[in-house]
Structure formats: structure tokens, C-alpha cells
Structure 1
């Protein structure tokens, strides 16, 4: 027998607490609680780093490939045709942003407790409910797309054929919903699978762009390539999600679906507020591209889109951090104390600020060379836009932990109000500066709105996690 086998193991389950003096027992309890706190804190922090690593791998691949296929499209189509392609793409993305439900947030908010409790049927009904919300958003978006294309077509100078192409492209984007599938993967901590599914989009787009260019570059061909990529990406998400959580018939019973809002108190309120805030945060950036195209020219919109895409390659990093942070904060909310949540918030905020500083350094060191490689000498005039929009993306990266913290601490209305203020400021600045300064004005409006959101959300989030109700 080993010596270790003869030594009793001290644990809360086999310790004779009556044989320990009271003051020693209190010390031991404090130590055990401290260990448990450290374990929860380290686990949550490691979860953010691990999930961020998975998302980072996918985003790096996506960013590199997106710059390649965007460069191919820019050089092959020419400024005017590329501008038309950008306007159609921006219209579809803006409509999808307006009507889409961020159902993955609902799944993390209400599904985490059901997953921990082993309530498989309740979780399945919630997944089915969120899928129906996604489908309803797509149907509403189809009606909005018909009206939007009819309204914007003459404004952009689109022919009847171009309007039909834009409408068909919008329909495909709307049909490619995958938010609920993404929520299932993140809920089960399958960030690697989610990163793989996201990588499908740039890979298929690049293959499609190369095929289209070999057959003769055209706006219609690139739209088809983009549409096929969205459909395949959505299929990949759902295949992986249903491998993690196989669907069952009982999820789709009408009575069970009607019971979901009762089983999840505050679901409608949470869904409305979070989706409104998310829409406000994203739609302004899409509208800026459309306003540049409408007020200046399609070619100007194409140049603005290139600068926006370079900034967006950096913004993908902030989006990656936001998703990982939101998932871990919601996981922490289900089992951690307010003090532990505050420590997690500070760690995530520090990581976000470091990321923002790195983004600005990359922008200054490699921004000009990347623009030259991507679009050629004809688009070097948009380099100031790259600097401004890239800095705005860095500010967004610095604030990625703020809104998840507000949502996790129950300040959903406050988060929405602050988003309303920053978005209203963005639109006001756009209409004021775009008329006087052109695309540079639109970029400055975006930068100022990002700075305002950083200050407001940061102040509110710090108070929320350090001054709990």
C-alpha cells in the first residue's frame, strides 16, 4: 500500500466538521469558497480566450480571403460596375439587418439555465421557437425588400433588370438565416464548429469569384457567387447544429411552442430590446454606404465600400470578441456572483482595449500597402477613409464587453436607449457632414458615433457591474 493511500483526503464530503474548532472551520470554509471562486473565474476567463481563439482562426482566414475576392471584383468590374455591385450588396445586407432576429442571444439568455438543468425538451422547444422567429423575420424582410428595391432603384439609377437582380439577391440573403443554429453551437460551447461554418462563406465566395472571372466578370455573376455562398454557409450551420442537438417531433407541437414565452419570463421584451439595439448598431454602417452612393455616385460608393471592408476586416475581430464575451458572461450569469461577474468584465474589457490598440497599430503599419494590393492605384485616394473607418472599428473593438455586461445585468432598456442615442447621432452627423464633405464626412460621422457609443456604454457598463441593484 502506498503512503498516500493511508492518508485521509480532506474534502467537504468526508470531513468530520464537528471535530474541527469553530474558528478553524470558518477558515477552511473561506479557503474552499476562495478556491471555488478562483476556479469559476479562471474557467470563465479561459473560456473567453479559448472561444476567442477559435473565432480568431476563422476570422483570420475569412479576412484574408475576403480581401482577395474583393480585390478581384474591384479590379475586374471597374469603378462604376463595382459601385453598382456594392449598392445591391448593401441594400440586401441592410434589409437583412433590419428584420433579422438575434435569436442566438435568446438561446444563450434562456437556454443556458435549461442546459445546465438537463431540461432537454424545454431547450428543444426554445430552439424551435427561435427558428420560427428567424423564419418570420425572413418573410417580413421579403415584403420590405420589394418595397425597398422599388423605392431605391430609381434613386440609384437601376434599370428594371438590375432591380430584379437586387430583389432576387435580397430574397436569397433572407432565406439564408442561421442565427438559431449559431446559438445552438455557442450554447453547447462548440465555437470550433461555428468558426468552421463561418469560414465556408469566404471560401465559397473566392471560388465563385474565380469562376465568374474566368467566364467573364459581371455584376450578376458575382451576385450569384455571393448568394450561393450564403446558402451553403446556412446549410453548414444547421447540419452542425443538429449534430449537437438532434431535432425531435415534440419540439414542433403547437401547444409547446405557445408555452415557450410563459416558460421564459420576459422573452418578448428581451427579444425586442436586444434585436432593436443590434439593428441600430449595424444598420447605420450599411446605410452610410447607400447614402454615399445616392448622394455622390456608385463609383464613390465602391471606394467607400473598399475602405469600409478594410475597416470591417478589423471590426471582425471586435465582433469575435463580443460573441465570445457575451457567451461567457451569460454562462457566468447562471452560476457566478456579482463580484465574480465584475472581475470577468474587467478582464474582458482589458483584452478588448489591448485588441483595439493592436488594430490601430496594424492599420498604421499595413493599411496603405493593403489598399494598394487590394484595389490598385486607382483607389489610393480612399486611404484617408481607411484610416478613419479603421479607427472607428478599433473603438468598436474597445467596447465589445460593455453591451453584453448591460444585458447580463438586466439593463436591457438602458442598452437600447444608449444605442438609440448613438444611432440618432450617426444619422444626424451623416446628413450634416456628407452634404458638406462627401465620403470623408460619412467616415467622420461613423468615427464620432463609435466614440460616443464607447464613452456612453463604457460608463453605463462599469456602473452596472460594480453597483448591482
Structure 2
């Protein structure tokens, strides 16, 4: 049975976004403690250096995967919503076939690039020579990172509860694996195998959820029937949209995995591990807002494609103000809980520079929270080029600044560089949003 929903009012969008947020938070309420527990167990099993190396090879795999992966979940929402609402099953299936095609191609490309880089560039990535073979082995996991279409399908069908469940899978497998390794006396090679298994099960679960929901909605029937008609028939501009959203995510990497790789390449795996732990805690404090941003996309697409731009901007401003105030209040408690949490994860008192880094990173998260609606607005209103320019310019400033800061102040230079980059990004995104908004008002 093919089910659809009618375009929402502003109140309806906020309520649905809130309900979806609660569904995601239900998963994160389990996932965040699981994530912190797996950090604690892994550092207990492997020590600072072993944990740092595991983070380095995982960040490398994620970086290659994200660079290669098209953000096809955005393509599914942007091009699939109207056909879903209009019950145009053949057109919606064409969008999904195109998106799955992107996932397959990006997965194969990522595997080839990941293996080549792991074999020939490991000396520049901070990998100890004695563990190089483990990094090469783990780079094969990059093929299991292409789950964007599954993500888009569940968002389109409003199944955020399944996204929440799936989000706990990888950490659950890692925690269970680390407990087993501690009990039997496993080592680094065993831990790498557990993390590889977690990546495989994570992708498999996501795909199974998505395909089952397509089956329930009658969208798998004759799914391959129109494959000879071309991937992009009646989908004008879909290639450009896919490339632009992919480039936008490529630039976003500079604030996540690429930062870890730069730190590991210059300061080594121990420093990379400390950065990862500080960043995980800062992100956990702002996690509800990151999840809220992900629920904004479908609501913004509904508003924009229903010719309700005022609804879109009003909803975005209301959610941003609420989120900004909430995050500001939450982060006020960070100084009181930071030391106990880091002691729990590191099994010792945190180095002073790591604690200072945590406060800087939390400040950067707060800045990004106040600009959380800017990127969804840019992409939803078709201004993907503005989103790319903002991220691109920011990255061109951030990476050299990060490199110089690390060389001069080591771990202590990362925080200020991240905060400055967060300010610049929000300013640029607001600039490009206002340009497009004024341009649309003049038409």
C-alpha cells in the first residue's frame, strides 16, 4: 500500500520535526553511553597508543568513504518527495535506482583509492611501521560506509525510529567485542577485526531496514523494470545536485576526520586519540542539536516544494533560537563534569592541554549550533553552490591555520583554530543565504 502525507503547516512541521528528534534521541540515549563505554574499554585494552592508532585508521577509512560517497540521501529527499507525494511510483523508483547506483560506484571507487593510499601513503598518516599491515587491512572497510541511500529512504518514509535503532548497531558490536577481547586477552589485531565486523553489520542493518520499508510501501514491485529507460529520465539537474552535495560534504570533512589525520600525521597516534576523545565529549554535549538539524531537511523540502518559503524561514529561525539557548545552557555544566568523564575514558587524570582542548571544541560546537539552519536552507532552496563556496573558503582558511597552529602550539593550537573556523563558516553561510533570499524576493 502506497502511503503519503499532505504538506504540513508550520506548526505541523515543528511537531513532526520534534517527534522525529525524540525518536533519534531515543537511539542516542543508548548510543552516546555506548560510544563512551567503547572508548573506555578500548583504551583499557590497548592503551593510549593502540587506541590512537585505531582512531587514525578508522578516521582514514571514514575520510576516504566520505570523499567518495555522494550524499544521495539528500538527492532522495530533494527529488523523491514530490513523486512520493504524487504517488508517481515509477519516477520515485528512478530516483532510488540513481541513488543506489551512486552508492555502488562510490563504494568501489573508495575501496580502490583507500587501498592504494594505505599501501603507499601510510608513512604520512602517522601509522607506526609495525602496525602498517593492520591499517591496510582495515582500509577495506571503506566499502561498507556507503549507506546514504538507505538513510534517505528512511527519512523520506518518516522512519526515524529505525534510523535511531540502526545508529546504535556499530557501537553495540564494538562494546561487545571489546568486552570479549578483555576477557580472553585479545590484542590490537583482534580489535581491528571487531571494528571491521561492526562496519559490515552496520551497513547490512541499514540496507535491510530500507529495503523492508520499500517493500511495505509497495515500492520494490517492478523496481528494475524501467532500468533500460535511463537513470536520469525526467530528473533534470540531478547529476549537478548530486555532485554539489558531495562536494559540500567533502569540505565538511576538514572539521572531522581530516583534522584527526592531520594531528596524527604531525603529533602521532596518542595525540590523535586525545583529540578524538575530547571531540567525542564535545559532540555528545551538542548531539541533540545535530540530530535536530537532520530532521530539518525533510520539513524544509516539504515547505519549499509546497511554495511556502516564509514557512521555511520562520521554522528555521524558531528552531535555531531554541537550539542555541538549549545548547548554551547544557554547555554551562561541562566544566563540572569534564574531568570525571575524561578520567573514566582514559583511566587516569586527563592532561591539562586535553582538557583545555575540550573546552575550545565545545565552544566551536556552540557556535555551529547558532548557525545550524543555514546549510539546510542553502541546500533546500537550491543554493548548493553557496553551501559549497562557504565550506570551500572556510576549509582553505582552516587547514593552513590548523597546520601552523599545531606546529607552534601542538595540541593547544587545535582549539582556537577550530573556533575561528566555526565563526568564519557561519558568517559565510549567512552571507550566501541572504544573497539568495534577496534575489528570490526581487523576482
Q: TM-score, normalised by structure 2?
A: 0.91
Unpaired runs of 5+ in structure 1? Answer: 1-35
Preserved CA contact (<8 Å) 1:55 1:191:
yes
Q: Among residues 228, 233, 240, which one is paired with 1:255 in the alignment?
A: 228
- Counterpart position of 1:70: 39
Q: Which SS does the other structure have where 2:22 is aligned?
A: helix
**Which residue of 2 is the match for residue 373 of structure 1?**
344
Q: 1:32-71 counterparts in 2 under 5 A?
A: 40-71=9-40
1:93 equivalenced with 2:62 (yes/no) = yes
1:377 CA displacement: 2.2
Over the residues paired in the alignment, what is the CA RMSD in angstroms?
2.2
Assess if the C-alpha contact under 8 Å between 1:402 and 1:461 holds in 2: yes
Deviation digits for residues 277-305 of structure 1 (CA, Å, limit 9, x no counterpart): 11211244212212222212222222122
Distance 1:229 1:252, change over 3 A: farther
Is contact 1:399–1:454 with CA below 8 Å preserved after alignment?
A: yes
> 1:117: Cα distance to partner?
0.5
Partner of 1:299: 270
Aligned in 2, Cα 1:290/1:250: closer, same or farther, shift over 3 Å? Answer: closer
User: Which residue of 1 is the match for residue 293 of structure 2?
Assistant: 322
Equivalent positions of 1:397-416 (< 5 A) are 397-416=369-388
- CA-to-aligned-CA distance 1:291-320 (integer Å, 9 cap, x gap): 222212222222122112212323533331
- Superposed CA deviations along residues 50-95 of structure 1, whole A, max 9, x for unmatched, are 1111112212211111001101111221122222222111211111
| Structure-2 residue corresponding to 1:25 | none
Greater C-alpha Rg = 1
Consecutive unaligned residues in structure 2, runs of 5 or more: 1-5
Distance 2:338 2:71 in 1: 32
Kindly state the Cα deviation for residue 467 of structure 1 after the two structures are TM-superposed: 6.1
CA contact (8 A) 2:339 2:350 kept: no
Q: After TM superposition, list the pairs within 5 Å mapping 1:7-18 onto structure 2.
A: none
| Alignment correspondent of 1:24 | none
- The yes-or-no answer on 1:426 pairing with 2:395 is no
Tell me by how many angstroms 1:435 deviates: 0.8
Give the Cα separation in 2 of the matches to 1:201 and 1:351: 31
CA distance in 1, matches of 2:381, 2:252: 20
Equivalent-residue separation in structure 2 for 1:217 and 1:329 (angstroms): 48
Residue 442, structure 1, aligned to residue 380, structure 2: no
Instruction: Mark the CA change 1:243 to 1:466 in structure 2 (over 3 Å): closer, same or farther.
Output: farther
1:363 to 309, 334, 359: 334
* Correspondence 1:394 to 2:366: yes
Pairing 1:18-417 to 2, within 5 Å after superposition: 40-156=9-125, 158=127, 162-246=131-215, 247-251=220-224, 253-256=226-229, 258=230, 260-381=231-352, 382-417=354-389
What TM-score does the superposition give when structure 1 sets the normalisation length? 0.86
